[in-house]
Amino acid sequence: MKNWLLLSLPEITLSVLALFLLVIDSFAGKKLKPVVMGVTFLTLLAALVMVLIPPFGGRSFGMVVHDDFSMYFQAVSVISAILVLLLSERDESLLGKSPGTYAALIVLSILGVFFLSSAEDLIILFVGLELTTIPLFILAGYLRRDEKSSESAIKFFLVGAFSTGLMIFGMSYLYGISGETSFLALKLWLTAAQAAGSSLSLFTVGIFFLLAGLGFKMSLVPFHQWVPDTYQGAPTPITAFFSISRDAGVIAVMLRLFGTFVNPDILGLQSLFWVLAVATMTVGNITALRQENMKRMLAYSSIAHAGTIFIGLVAGNETGRQGVMLYALAYTLMSMGAFSVIIAVSRAKNSEDISAIQGLSKENFPMALLMTFFLLSLAGIPPFLGFFGKFYVFMAAIQSRMYWLVAIGLLNSLVAVYYYFRILNRMFFMEPAGSLPAPKNEFSIEVAAISSAFILLFLGIFPGHLLSWIGDHFHFLP
């Protein structure tokens, strides 16, 4: 068996799983839902093992790299897929008629993250990005009879198509200048042009438009307008999946591209990156203050977190890269956990407004306690893993002497604390609104929420092993 076949075994496994789910769905539909879910969970767990215990590292066709860095983000994406399927397990509107199709779309989206995190070529970057996003277009409008779901899918699709056009336009410049599509060719051309004193203006234009396309996928300001409406209109488990499936792959490819191959300082783009990080954090947090819908609030919160994660890329050092890796795992668990509580509350009270969670501690104290864990971690308060994600990102900026960026980031964190604690205040110090039934515990949601909370708390109290592992495995394959 050739090396490339062994290296690509996780991707091949997920591709076969997606095709199997689509085929079985066309014949059996909802009759085989237990089989569909069982096969999907077992295969995802097998893929996770393959990713975490690879036989060796290497490259496939000079376009895809298999190293510890890519495998880390692939593992995060598989974990997010397992959690979102747990959140969807009892939702008949998602898994009632076509469970295979729904599960296949989730699998295809994380398959795109696999390609993104391993990309060393513009073609693979484009394929990975579209494979991640196109299933999300469908999933956003999965509730076809729901006007909000359809509206969110249309907005997401239109803005996504526009950003893809910008990205391809930028890629065409880069290909026309360097004559190749590999990241290495871009680096060699940039080095030669700098040594010869040639103009870098066209190359900078290409990178600028490529960044615009990636910025949409990562919801950086000013490419964030689609996020709140899409988050609110999409089915809640899919809303939880949005930020994770996009950010994990996009931030991985951006770290690889701008951390190893294309130095933003040479192109004079460092100030632009700085402004993007500040604008994204600030707009996300300030707008989240005024939201009364929990999903919209977490949508703007996700924009703010994208800006904070982006600081690790702006810092451009090893600590920043480690911080981004840590933050990616923390945000996956925090987001999935918070949305699991929102799902339980909205099913009982048929409302996603913040008022629905009012008095939750008196109705279902364990659920309120879990939500407290997730909100404290999102706010970056110890002893939760979210604190260490922010700490490492800010420390990376300090090491790069970006003191103003750190100051603005800390001020934004204080703003975030306010609207997260507003929810805590309503849960513990207010009476339940109305006479609606209390949220009930559901086994699959309990598993997702409790496991997420446990990992956040355990790794927050004992972060040494994870930090040591990341320190040893964050390096790119030479």
Render pLDDT for 30-40 as a digit per residue (tens, 0 to 9).
567 778 888 88
Nearest to 422 by CA among 355, 347, 362: 355
Contact between residue 275 and residue 242 where contact means Cβ atoms under 8 Å apart? no
Contact between residue 219 and residue 305 where contact means Cβ atoms under 8 Å apart? no
Residue appearing with tokens 């002497």: 401
Residue-level pLDDT at 282: 92
Pick the more confident residue, 75 or 26: 75
Confidence of residue 398 (pLDDT cuts 50, 70, 90): very high
Which segment of 59-63, 299-303, 421-425, 447-451 scores lowest on mean pLDDT? 59-63
Q: Is 29 left (phi over 0), alpha (psi -120 to 50) or beta?
A: left
Instruction: List pLDDT tens digits, range 434-468.
Output: 665 667 767 788 888 888 889 888 888 888 778 88
End-to-end CA distance of the chain: 24
Pick the more confident residue, 19 or 240: 19
Q: Among residues of the chain, what percentage have pLDDT more than 70? A: 93
Reading the block at residue 12, the tokens are 């091949």
Residue-level pLDDT at 434: 66
- Where is 66: in which H helix or E strand? strand 64-66
pLDDT at 477 over 60: no
Instruction: List pLDDT tens digits, range 420-443.
Output: 998 888 888 877 776 656 677 677
Residue-level pLDDT at 476: 61
> Could you give the dihedral angle defined by the CA atoms of residues 180, 60, 83 and 424, in that order, rounded to the nearest 10 degrees?
-50
Confidence of residue 1 (pLDDT cuts 50, 70, 90): very low
Residue-level pLDDT at 407: 92
Task: Classify each residue of 238-277 as buried b or exposed e, where b means 16 or more C-beta atoms within 10 Å of its C-beta.
Answer: bbbbbbbbbbbbbbbbbbbbbbbbbbbeebebbeebbebb
Contact between residue 317 and residue 264 where contact means Cβ atoms under 8 Å apart? no
Q: Which DSSP string corresponds to 375-444?
A: HHHHTT-TTSHHHHHHHHHHHHHHHTT-HHHHHHHHHHHHHHHHHHHHHHHHHHHSPPSTTPPPPPP-HH
Residue-level pLDDT at 438: 61
Reading the block at residue 477, the tokens are 């394959």
> Going by C-beta distance under 8 Å and a sequence separation of 6 or more, which residues neighbour residue 245?
77, 80, 81, 109, 110, 112, 113, 132, 136
Average pLDDT of the residues in 67-90: 86
Distances (CA, A) of 379 to 261, 308, 478: 33, 12, 36
pLDDT at 29 over 70: no
Which segment of 56-70, 99-113, 190-204, 334-348 scores lowest on mean pLDDT? 56-70
Instruction: List pLDDT tens digits, range 140-173.
Output: 887 777 777 787 788 888 888 888 888 899 999 9
pTM for the predicted model, two decimal places: 0.90
> Going by C-beta distance under 8 Å and a sequence separation of 6 or more, which residues neighbour residue 126?
167, 168, 171
Residue-level pLDDT at 55: 63
Nearest to 249 by CA among 376, 142, 333, 132: 132
- Ramachandran angles phi, psi of 61, nearest 5°: 60, 15
Instruction: List pLDDT tens digits, range 336-362.
Output: 888 888 888 888 877 778 888 888 888
Residue-level pLDDT at 37: 83
Distance CA 219, CA 284 (A): 10
- Ramachandran angles phi, psi of 293, nearest 5°: -95, 130
Reading the block at residue 77, the tokens are 């994406």
Which segment of 118-132, 223-237, 409-423 scores lowest on mean pLDDT? 223-237
Q: Between the ranges 25-29, 59-63, 225-229, where is the mean pLDDT highest?
A: 225-229
Angle between helices 68-88 and 318-349 (to 10 degrees): 0
Pick the more confident residue, 52 or 93: 52
Contact between residue 322 and residue 255 where contact means Cβ atoms under 8 Å apart? no
* Average of per-residue pLDDT values in the chain: 83
Q: What angle do CA 139, 142, 143 make, to 5 degrees?
A: 150
pLDDT at 474 over 70: no
Q: What does the domain layout of the chain look like in residue ranges?
A: 276-478
